[in-house]
Amino acid sequence: MYQYGGFFGLPPIFDNLLQQRPLLIGLPVFAFVLTLLRDMEDENRIILAGIVTGLLFPFHVVSFICAYIAYFCGILLSQKPFKRHYLYFLASIIVALPFLLSSASSISLANSWAYTFLRDNPILYYVMNLGIPFLISLAMFFTKVEGKLLKLVFFFLFLIPNAISITPNSWDMYKFFIFAWVPIAVLSGAALARIRKSVALVLLLFSVLATASVIVYNVGTSYQAASWEEYALGMWVRGNTEERAVFLTYYSIHCPPSMIGGRLRVASYVNWAYGHGVPYNDIQKRFADVDRAYTGGEGDLRRVVETYNVTYVYVGEEELSKYPGCVARFNSIDWLEPIYNGSLRVYKVTS
């Protein structure tokens, strides 16, 4: 079972495809680019790989980086002198340029994912987290089976999180292991096709244990994502507020107006914004404004409402816990209209 910062610290793909939905674009496009770059002598394949890589950037930056790793691996493996048409892949820069210029992502050469999250025995850690396919893929490095591009890409995608951090939040470097799973899957599949069927079947069954553990956890856990009261409030928000309405809430993952109601809010969980390259100081400023709105006077709330175009103020379990007394303060403000009452509350800004 996945444990954040613990021994089983690499989330399986099954879990990530549910939570990190951009991977539904990132993974297949990366696999497509790998397929195209198998033949570096075909000009059309290289320019097509460049175009789809450029289109990929606004959806998944890590996938964009992985596609470039595949490109440079293809150049390294080229048996002939460098050819001008290899540069056609750089069409990706032109396609992605508007998004590259607006990106605030930072690059750090310290505090790699492995330095921050890897615990105790690294060999045992990777064997247990990546499992049988990982071991089979490593064995393929010592065979003459074709797949040099896959092997080299696998090597770099595995090495990078252990060496540097090129994502704003070092935790996001674990996604390189997710993309490494593309060459791992192909290499291990090729190996299984070359051994006795009975052995291959046993190895295949053991290969899915990581996914099975996630299923078992989700079926058996007593963890409650949202209470029925929060679900009812979220559905009410969805049906009774404007689609682009902005809610003032506490800045946590748990937020019924957003996660159920689908509405915007002033500030969300820190790593969502930070992971997309928003400067940490800007995020902290929003957090401070939210705190001021819930704990300060009427003037403080008014400034936050006007700054962020807030239309609704939410008070739920986390808001009550973080900001004791906020309900009494909000009830005393005449331009806040209570429109949803109970253990959870919503106020509408009327003027």
Task: Give pLDDT, residue 279.
Answer: 78
Residues of the chain where predicted confidence (pLDDT) is lower than 50: none
Task: Give pLDDT, residue 278.
Answer: 77
pTM, to two decimals: 0.77
Q: Within 10 A of 294 (CB to CB), how many other CB atoms are there?
A: 23
Report the alpha-carbon distance of residue 290 to residue 244 in Å, rounded.
19
Domain locations along the chain: 13-218, 228-349
Task: Give pLDDT, residue 277.
Answer: 66
Report the alpha-carbon distance of residue 77 to residue 92 in Å, rounded.
21
Q: Within 10 A of 221 (CB to CB), how many other CB atoms are there?
A: 10
| Residue 171 DSSP label | G
Pick the CATH number of 228-349 from 1.20.930, 1.10.260, 2.60.40, 3.40.50: 3.40.50
Task: Give pLDDT, residue 102.
Answer: 67
pLDDT tens per residue across span 121-161: 889 989 888 888 899 999 888 887 778 999 999 999 999 99
Task: Give pLDDT, residue 22.
Answer: 82
12 contacts 211 by C-beta, under 8 angstroms: yes
48 contacts 18 by C-beta, under 8 angstroms: no
Task: Give pLDDT, residue 210.
Answer: 62
Containing 122, the helix (H) or strand (E) segment is helix 122-140
Task: Give pLDDT, residue 281.
Answer: 86
Whole-number Cα distances in Å, 53 to 64, 113, 178, 250: 6, 25, 18, 37
Task: Give pLDDT, residue 151.
Answer: 95
